[in-house]
Amino acid sequence: MKRLLLTAVLLCWAAILFGQKYLPSSHGELVEHTYITLSYSEANEQAEWVYYELTPKFVAGNIKRSDNFRPDPKVSTVSAQLADYAGSGYDRGHLCPAGSMTLNATAMSESFYLSNMSPQLPEFNRGGWKKLESLVREWAVEYDRLYVITGPVLKGTNRHIGLDKVTVPNFYYKVIYAPNQGMMIAFVMPNAKIDHELNEYVVDVDEVERVTGIDFFEAMDDQLENQLESNVTASRWDFDGTQARPKMVEKAKGETSGGQCQGITASGSRCKRKAKAGSKYCFQHENL
């Protein structure tokens, strides 16, 4: 009995430490990898959501982009294939971005499963979506820990690509929770060229739940969940990358007192960080 109780306690603590208590509701097959967890929708041949925890270590690693796109072996019904995207005119758009998985080779490799891809127009994937991904990484450094849930809005579209008929979404979303600051924010962006500032695509989490049918923080205390999901305040989040970072984080990333990073922030301005030794870029922009 004592052993069972101890096991239950350990499992509970594991769930807390690895953030699994923040998994959304699932309408598909739950697929758990080491660093990302997803709900795979066989009808749409892609994930309805991908969940991952993001800390400074994940974006400060030295693992280079692998480009090892391949089917996900853990999807029991078989995930989308490379041939589905070939000649389609759509990018294999990451849901959990490779730039957020530089911690180690396993994390980088998992980001290239086709279960983590969705058909995105090049001008979206390489434009506004990329800017949002970069901004979220900056927030991970500033706020120390984020829980990120991202995916396609699968309702309201009838476009498909490939023999497996991979659904082409009209919109994508990101839901982000910063537990240390008690802040939550969400974005809904069209699968198109993004012409406006990122903060113009901010919505409350309740709106994302309405358009997706997903309950994003169902295991959270109901009172806290309702408060966070319905009261999104964009002004509490740093969209300009100007908040000071703790000195201990600066040291941990190996930044030097050399020249200014030549990278561009999500808002389009010059990065204010110092470049790493032997590089023109800081840890954030070196892997982009």
pLDDT in tens, 31-51: 999 999 999 999 999 999 999
Q: What is the mean pLDDT of the chain?
A: 85
Domain match, 89 and 154 both: yes
* % the chain with pLDDT above 90: 68
Domain membership flag for residue 4: no
Residues 39 and 164 in one domain: yes
Q: Domain check: are 111 and 183 in the same one?
A: yes
The pLDDT of residue 249 is above 70: no
Say what the pLDDT of residue 246 is. 45
Q: Do 65 and 195 reside in the same domain of the chain? A: yes
Total of domains in the chain: 2
Catalytic residue flag (residue 27)? no
Kindly state whether residues 145 and 196 are assigned to the same domain. yes
Q: What is the pLDDT of residues 134-165, one digit of tens each?
A: 999 999 999 999 999 999 999 999 999 999 99
Residues 170 and 284 in one domain: no
Q: Mark whether 204 and 284 lie in a shared domain.
A: no
Verify that 115 and 145 share a domain, yes or no: yes
Q: Is residue 117 part of a domain?
A: yes
In a domain, residue 17? The reply is no
Q: Domain for residue 215, yes or no? A: yes
Q: Which of 199, 216, 239 is the last residue of a domain?
A: 239
Residues 164 and 263 in one domain: no
Q: 93 to each of 89, 114, 128, 263, 266, how far by Cα in Å?
A: 12, 9, 12, 22, 18
Inter-residue contact 160 to 212 (CB < 8 Å): no
Q: Decide: residue 235, CB within 10 A, 0-12 exposed, 13-18 middle, 19+ buried.
A: exposed
**Dihedral pair phi/psi, residue 42, rounded to 5°:** -65, -35
Query: 174 with 264, same domain?
Result: no
Catalytic residue among 94, 160, 196, 285: 94
CATH of the domain at 231: 3.40.570.10
Average pLDDT over residues 252-276: 60
Residue 12 lies in a domain: no
User: Same domain for 219 and 167?
Assistant: yes
- pLDDT classification of 9: cutoffs 50, 70, 90: very low
Q: Please write the tens of the pLDDT for every residue from 163-192.
A: 999 999 999 999 999 999 999 999 999 999
The reported pLDDT for the residue numbered 12 is 42
User: How confident is residue 21, by pLDDT bands cut at 50, 70 and 90?
Assistant: low
- The three state secondary structure string of 211-274 is HHCCCCCCCCCHHHHHHHHHCCCHHHCCCCCCCCCCHHHHHHCCEEEEEECCCECCCCCECCCE
Mean pLDDT, residues 216-236: 82
Residues 173 and 283 grouped into a single domain: no
pLDDT in tens, 63-93: 999 999 999 999 999 999 999 999 999 999 9
Question: Domain containing 32: what range?
Answer: 23-239
**Segment 99-111, tens digit of pLDDT:** 999 999 999 999 9
Look at residue 38 and tell me if it is in a domain.
yes
Whether 138 maps to a domain, the answer reads: yes
Cα–chain center distance at 147: 8
Q: Is residue 244 part of a domain?
A: no
